[in-house]
Structure 1
Amino acid sequence: MTVKIWDLSRGACLPTLESRYVDSVAFSHGSARLASASFDGVVKIWDLGSGALLRTFSIGKPLKRIEFDTTGLYLHTSIGAIDIRARLGLPLLPTISEPRSPQYQGLALSTDGVWITHDSERQVWLPSEYRPSCSATSRSTIGIGARTGRVLIYKVELDIS
């Protein structure tokens, strides 16, 4: 129930980060921050210099894969890219102790797997037989492994006019 960061050159344990049932972790490029995703559907963003918790998101489902984008502003997950910037477009991450719902950038699945979304806005409702037991997103494509055993691939082109 902890994330331990080690400095291997010194053999020293850096700040220990408290979390619950960690399923996945990812370093930002440059290793200034760490994201952890836990089985209870919570994603946390940590400052590795101080060990401070910067941001908490309540995803509502476990995530087995998380990864920072190259800018450090988004966290890519199996259900879409989470915008981890502060509200109002500021690039800094204020300390947030209460979990908040994530804002997804671009194409994603709703955390309950019922909707295909774009920038967190519902676009396409998925009937129960097409809802994911696992999924992956890449730009304008969503791959869904359905509980029925089907694998579905949705290529989405949005008409933004």
Structure 2
Amino acid sequence: MSGHGAPEQKPFDASGLRVAVVAASWHTEVMDGLVAGAERALAAYSVSEPTIVRVPGTFELPVVALALAQQGYDAVVALGVVIRGGTPHFDYVCNAATDGLNRVALDTGVPIGFGVLTCDDDQQALDRAGLEGSKEDKGWEATSAALDTARVLAGLR
């Protein structure tokens, strides 16, 4: 499982941070699990009023993440899922989302929690969605990473 070797993520008081979550809509069960994981993490980190925005798909995450970063959010969490099919569409969407979200973070200095699942099949996505029986909770992990990075950046500024 890909979660082997992950750092321990201990919640801290992030109540002073403005946080947004942008989540794709495709693959409802997986996406609802990822959003729920992000919400659990935000609650554990004492973020009480996050903004949650849904977009059609994973391809649309970067443009909305950019708009949120430009509105003064301290961290943005991007959640999506792309499941491999029989065409190169998978590669194009995965690369566009990854490169776009990375560009948003570098261009704005706002940490972007990367919670985009790139899976070969539905079961891999379900195993990472933070649902009952899932092996991993990538919604939580992406949120924790964004909040931890926001704290590091605040300490450097």
TM-score under structure 1 normalisation? 0.27
Q: Which has the higher helix share?
A: 2
Q: Which has the higher strand share?
A: 1
TM-score under structure 2 normalisation? 0.27
Higher RCO (CA-CA < 8 Å; seq separation 6+): 2
